[in-house]
Every structure is written in C-alpha cells, then in structure tokens.
Chain A
C-alpha cells in the first residue's frame, strides 16, 4: 500500500488520474474503520488533508460553496445560521472527536444511505462539484449523486471538490432516530427545508432506502397545500398526510439497526413533526 499526499488540488487530481486504485481519505472516519477492521486493502491511500483548497468555504450570490474537506465541527460553528439543516445534522454526527475530523465531502464520497449530511443537502437542493484532471469540473445535483448503496456518480478519475448549498431562505429541520441518545448511526433520518421565496418544500430521507432520497411527491403535496400567503396554522391532518407521503417515498429494509416497518413509521412521525416545527418557525418569523 502506498501513501500519496498531494499538497494542491491540481496535484490531487493528477494523482487520482494516475492511481485508480487509490482510496481518497480525508477525515478518515470511514476509511480508517475499513482499514482497521481489515475490510479493505486499497493499493494506496490518497490523503486529501494537505489540499488547502478543500478546507475553505465561501459565499457567492446566496450560495455557500463548502469545500469537501471542511469538517462538521466548522459547519456547526461557522455556518449554523446560513445552513441550519446541515448544521443540525452535523451536530448528530458521531462524537465531538468525529466532528472535528469528518467532512461533508467524505460523507458524499462514502455515499452511505445513513450519511447524516445527505438528507439536509437533498432538502436544500445542493449540488456536488466534482473534478478530474482530464475533463475539469462538473456539478451534479445531489439527488442524482447517489447511485446505489455506498455508490455515487463519481468517475474513477474524479474527486469531490465542494458542495454548493443555497443559504436558507426559510426554516429548516433535521431529525434523526437512533437507539441511543448520542453517537449513533441513523435508523432513519429526515430533513425538511421550507423555501418561502419560491413557495416550495424540500425533503431528504436517510437510512430508509438504498440511497438517500427525496420524497418528491410529498414535497409537491405540502407545497401545494400550505397557506404561504396567509400563514395560517398547519392543520394536523395536513402534517399527518405529509408524513404518510414521506413514509411512502421510503424503501427501507430490515437490518440489525431497525426494521423496515419501524423506519417507515418513524419517518411519518418525523416528517409530521418537522413540518409542524418548520411552519411554526415561519409563522413566528412573519
């Protein structure tokens, strides 16, 4: 096994192209587990922690460009106001020690259906910026980024550069169910973003399908039913109906962490509650 340590983004892309057998590593919170548990022996590790470009974030025209190497801890402290859904999710990632190291880029790279960052990115309609030495940069809507269980749309010579997320125009919520009150992988997770500027609703479901996914039909339903102009209280029946539609969008399985039936049930509850909280926030803000 080799240890490849580029110090610039261009160099990283060149190395990526040369060494398709190299496994990118950033915070190490997924990769090192695979190595320590003897589940993976790549030809090389491609360490991205020396690539300064990845460690930065910036705002342009109301959209945050979040470098792939920015750890969760910084998302919480530096971006909590602009990306509240992502920050709420970041707070539930592992432990403080994990949040110091783990990155949103790494979460996307692993593409686990249980990745905590994915539902808020889906709800916010984020785009993943990827690049290769040969073809330069392209942007992939996050909803199209996840292609299967722990699979994503990256080509073998590509690396994740950043994720682009519109700053919140309305309330956002993130809810995660686990069987322990800290440091737990999601049994199910749900993210909601209200976009009052365009009278739209965004959703993201985690741990309840082969990939993180939106509940598109539920989004449209709720956006159509909400009293955007009058901001009347959200009827419980509407919240309930939204929850049922979110649950219907899931395709969960039974596994050691939970049952498919419970995952569906919990999503309905989470979506109902999240919609109520978010709408109440919007009404209060008015």
Chain B
C-alpha cells in the first residue's frame, strides 16, 4: 500500500508498504531516517520515540498506515539544518551520551517534557523519562542534561 505522511515538515510518500509494517520501519528503512532506533519493537524502551501530531509515541507501535496524513517529527527534525536544539546540546555537554542508542528517543522525550513543564522537579523528570531505557549511563548524566536544558531555557 501507499503511505503519505508529513515528516519533519516535508510530505513523504512510500509505496509497497506491507500493512503490518510499523511507522518505525517506514521511517528507518523507507524514508532514510534511521534516527529513531529499533531496540525492543514492543514499546518497552522508548528508543524509537518520535512525535506523532505533536505527541511523543513509540514509532514501533504505530502502524505505518496510521500515520497517513499525520505529522511526524523525528530526532532529525528537532533543530533546523546543522544546528542543535538546546536539549541536544545539553545531552552532549552533560556527558549523557555513551553508546547513544537510547539517545534519540530520550532527546525527544526530554524535548516534550520541557515543552510541557519548563522547570520540572526530579520526580517529574523521572516519571516523564521512565519509558526510555538506557543501559550505559545509569541515567545520572541524563538527568543532568535535562536539568541543564531546563536551566538554560529559564535564563533565556
């Protein structure tokens, strides 16, 4: 089947999509956007988090056909051109990245949190990021990154 959807502001079309295919497969394998990651395929790790119509979702649990006519924003589309979004900058600076496989999903989840709650408390950060597993960092520097991004946002 044919799937047409708006991804990072651009309308994209893919043909011969298997109806059981996920939005994640569509993005990664057909639209050349491998930023969202394939780590569990069952919504238990958050590595594939993207925005669907402005809400953070696990792309592995959205059927490609469900995204038809919707707006998808991936980690590749958070900041224009070569620039970094402040959340991305904070992840680099805080040392929140090791292997980095969880990073794109966490960046989107943190981006969403700070858009909703500009100055989150630690329990709020933890509850908001509880759907994103990281195996490398023990989360400490990820929390640092979110706090850093929030502080920068507040002082801007």
Contact = CB atoms under 8 A, between A and B. Distances in A.
Interface stretch (B60-68, B74-82, B84-92, B143-151): B60-68
Contacts of A258: none
B20 A33 contact: no
A36 B60 contact: yes
Contact of B19 (A3, A100, A183): A3
A31 B44 CA distance: 14
Interface in B1-39: 1, 18-20, 22
A35 interface: yes
Nearest to A185: B44
Contacts, number: 93
Contact of A98 (B58, B109, B127, B128): B58
Contact of B63 (A3, A97, A183): A3
Nearest to B44: A183
Contact of A45 (B19, B56, B58, B132): B19
A96 B128 contact: yes
B65 A1 contact: no
Interface in A19-56: 25, 27-29, 31-33, 35-37, 41, 44-45, 47, 49
B43 A97 contact: yes
A29 B43 contact: yes
B130 interface: yes
B42 A37 contact: yes
B52 to A, nearest CB: 8
Contacts of A94: 43-44, 131
Interface string B104-139: 000001001000000000000001101110000000
A32 B155 CA distance: 42
B62 A28 contact: yes
Contact of B20 (A45, A49, A73): A45
A149 interface: no
Contact of A47 (B18, B22, B44, B63): B63
B55 interface: yes
A182 B43 contact: no
Interface string A193-220: 0000000000000000000000000000
A25 B66 CA distance: 9
B72 interface: no
A32 to B, nearest CB: 4
B56 A100 contact: yes
Contacts of A35: 20, 22, 63
Contact of B65 (A3, A27, A37, A73): A3
A142 to B, nearest CB: 25
The 6 nearest A-B residue pairs measured at CB = A95-B131, A182-B130, A3-B19, A36-B41, A3-B65, A32-B61
Interface of B: 1, 18-20, 22, 41-44, 46, 49, 55-58, 60-63, 65-66, 68, 109, 112, 127-128, 130-132
